[in-house]
Amino acid sequence: MSSITSGYLMAKKSGKKSNLPMDGVSRINSLKRNHRTAFMLNDKEKEAIESYCKKNKIRNKSKFMRETLLRTVMDHFLEDYPTLFDKKDMDKIRI
């Protein structure tokens, strides 16, 4: 085989190594999405989402819905987080 042919058949290895530390691999595995969740929409809901995504140039609807849902859930967690004082007392303190 000539050098041109052998170079064509074999891919060159890049000299770069992964920037992730060894524990980074386990972190990536823990962030991998393994659980599927599905929900149904009626025609008007689907049309509204399609329109919103088109208007705002959202290509990845799955990511958009996941982030929107989790943002709402996290906001509720932060609002409902147990505090040392009652809500009435906290409202009095606010300026």
Is 90 exceeded by the pLDDT of residue 86? no
pLDDT at position 9 is 56
Taking all residues of the chain, what is their mean pLDDT, rounded to a whole number? 80
pLDDT-above-90 percentage for the chain: 43
Mean pLDDT of 80-87: 75
The residues, ordered by sequence, that sit 6+ positions from 64 with a Cβ below 8 Å of its Cβ are 53, 58
Instruction: Name residue 21's amino acid.
Output: P
Q: Pick 46 or 89 by higher pLDDT.
A: 46
Count Cβ atoms within 10 A of the Cβ of residue 58 and give its class: 0-12 exposed, 13-18 middle, 19 or more buried. middle
Look up residue 57 and give its amino acid. K
**How far out from the chain centre does Cα 8 lie?**
39
Rounded mean pLDDT of 68-83? Answer: 87
3-state SS of the chain is: CCHHHHHHHCCCCCCCCCCCCHHHHHHHHHHCCCCCCCCCCCHHHHHHHHHHHHHCCCCCHHHHHHHHHHHHHHHHHHHCCCCCCCHHHHHHHCC
